[in-house]
Amino acid sequence: MQLRIDLHVHTVYSSDSLITPKELIFYGRQRGLDGVAVTDHDRFDGALKIAKETDFLIIPGIEISSLNGHIIGLNVNELVPPKLSVDETLDRIKDAGGISVACHPITFFKKSLKGHISPRFNAIEVINSSAFPFNYSVRHNEEIASQLGIARVAGSDAHYGPEIGYAHTLVDAESEVEEIVKAIRRGSCSPHGKAIPLTTRFKKQLLLLKRNFGRK
Ligand SMILES: [Zn+2]
Ligand SMILES: [Zn+2]
């Protein structure tokens, strides 16, 4: 079974995202996805809560701020703290029963891992729809993935509902979190997608400004 899954989405449990649980599921379905991974910054309580409350497929994840850049842990069963070295972070993800993804390895304006990617990672996010400059980052990530021989995945890194689904990973698995994670681990997956249009990103920035201003 080929599943279309956006493996990198932030919800309101991340302070820099506008996506409510309702919007997550609405856009996930509207974009024809079979599921999404919720990967909020340094917390996964939101992901677990959302997964419990819907029959839409949610892979609980976390985007961890390691000392050397962002790392995604998928299907972890306990919190992996921020500010650890890359190696320690990878150990903790493994101990928590999850798999690791080197997200947006090469991009500006995000905390990228750059030289810290190794075959210890389970997968590399070759396509990140929010990466800048987009084509350059995809080419570069492809090169790293083939050099290291690790699985290739994709995600939108959405922080605004309409950004969901600009990228997806095609995973050859049954529609179950454990099976999907296993399939990614063995590389039965491929990255697909494109950049989020600048107009959409611009709208998001305006809405974020408006929201943050309203909070003060
Ligand atoms: Zn990030
Ligand atoms: Zn992210």
Residues 64-93: pLDDT tens digits? 999 999 999 999 999 999 999 999 999 999
What is the rounded average pLDDT for all residues in the chain?
A: 95
Tell me the per-residue pLDDT of 41-68, one tens digit each, with 9 for 90 and over: 999 999 999 999 999 999 999 999 999 9
CA of 95 to the centre of ligand 2 (A): 22
User: Topology of 2-215 in CATH?
Assistant: TIM Barrel (3.20.20)
Contact 170, 193 (CB under 8 A): no
How high is the pLDDT of residue 99?
Answer: 98
How high is the pLDDT of residue 106?
Answer: 77
CA of 148 to the centre of ligand 2 (A): 23
Tell me the per-residue pLDDT of 159-177, one tens digit each, with 9 for 90 and over: 999 999 999 999 999 999 9
Identify residues whose C-beta is under 5 A from ligand 2, the ion. Answer: 63, 157
Tell me the per-residue pLDDT of 3-25, one tens digit each, with 9 for 90 and over: 999 999 999 999 999 999 999 99
pTM of the model: 0.96
Domain spans in the chain, listed from the N-terminal domain onward: 2-215
CA of 70 to the centre of ligand 1 (A): 5
CA of 7 to the centre of ligand 1 (A): 12
28-37 average pLDDT score: 98
How high is the pLDDT of residue 214?
Answer: 80
CA of 52 to the centre of ligand 1 (A): 25
Task: Measure Cα distances from 139 to 76, 131, 193, 196 in Å.
Answer: 29, 12, 13, 17
